[in-house]
């Protein structure tokens, strides 16, 4: 018996071909969905790292402009840290910004680190506030003096009008863990 090859495909061959194309279509659709989901996750994480990078850059710029209180008649420490369970952690200091003295404060309250600033001696109503980082669990400030690291400034060994040699910030973030940065001031 001789079979005619020009007859076409059998029903079983057609069903197998359809099944193969269905599997390939499903795999393609699933792969594309995974790529889109991965891209969205990466964009979200990249945005978070950009937010953190911007915050650390702002902190660095302000700390590098910090001045001792010898330039201001008021007698207060060059930098002060307040830390309480109710109000969170605050670092306040004077900075020479654009030729004018400015009171700069980095304040952690709730789950946010904020950047507060106003001209030195100006009333509280002149205060400008910008959020820097969200989802912050804790903020720790440390200061380097002649005897090592301290959690307060001025420490017992240093004069109140001088700046520390370096400042370290430890940010404990809910999604990224602890991020530490050290800034040399002088």
Is the previous residue joined to 154 through a cis bond, with omega within 30 degrees of 0?
A: yes
Rounded to an integer, what distance in angstroms lies between the CA atom of residue 60 and that of residue 41?
29
Domain ranges for the chain: 61-184
Closest C-alpha to 120, from 97, 106, 102 = 102
Closest C-alpha to 140, from 70, 100, 81, 76 = 81
Name the helix (H) or strand (E) containing 54: helix 11-64
pTM score of the predicted model? 0.74
Residue 67 has what pLDDT? Answer: 83
Statement: residue 75 has pLDDT above 50: no
Query: 79 versus 108: which is more confidently predicted?
Result: 108
Averaged over 18-25, what is the pLDDT? 93
Residue 164 has what pLDDT? Answer: 87
Query: 157 versus 40: which is more confidently predicted?
Result: 40
Given a contact cutoff of 8 angstroms between Cβ atoms, the answer to whether 128 and 117 are in contact is yes
Given a contact cutoff of 8 angstroms between Cβ atoms, the answer to whether 46 and 116 are in contact is no
Given a contact cutoff of 8 angstroms between Cβ atoms, the answer to whether 82 and 92 are in contact is yes
Given a contact cutoff of 8 angstroms between Cβ atoms, the answer to whether 55 and 113 are in contact is yes
Q: Which residues lie across from 141 on neighbouring strands?
A: 169
């Amino acid at each position: 018996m001789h079979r005619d090859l020009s007859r076409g495909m059998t029903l079983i061959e057609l069903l197998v071909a359809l099944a193969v194309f269905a599997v390939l279509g499903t795999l393609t659709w699933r792969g594309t969905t995974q790529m889109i989901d991965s891209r969205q996750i990466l964009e979200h994480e990249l945005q978070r790292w950009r937010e953190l990078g911007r915050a650390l850059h702002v902190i660095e710029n302000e700390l590098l402009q910090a001045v001792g209180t010898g330039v201001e008649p008021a007698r207060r420490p060059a930098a002060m840290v307040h830390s309480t369970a109710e109000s969170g952690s605050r670092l306040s200091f004077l900075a020479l910004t654009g030729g004018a003295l400015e009171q700069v404060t980095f304040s952690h309250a709730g789950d946010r680190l904020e950047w507060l600033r106003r001209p030195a001696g100006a009333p509280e109503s002149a205060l400008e506030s910008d959020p820097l980082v969200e989802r912050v669990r804790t903020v720790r400030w440390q200061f380097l003096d002649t005897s090592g690291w301290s959690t307060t400034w001025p420490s017992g060994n240093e004069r109140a009008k001088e700046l520390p040699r370096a400042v370290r910030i430890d940010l404990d973030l809910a999604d990224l863990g602890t991020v530490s940065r050290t800034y040399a001031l002088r």
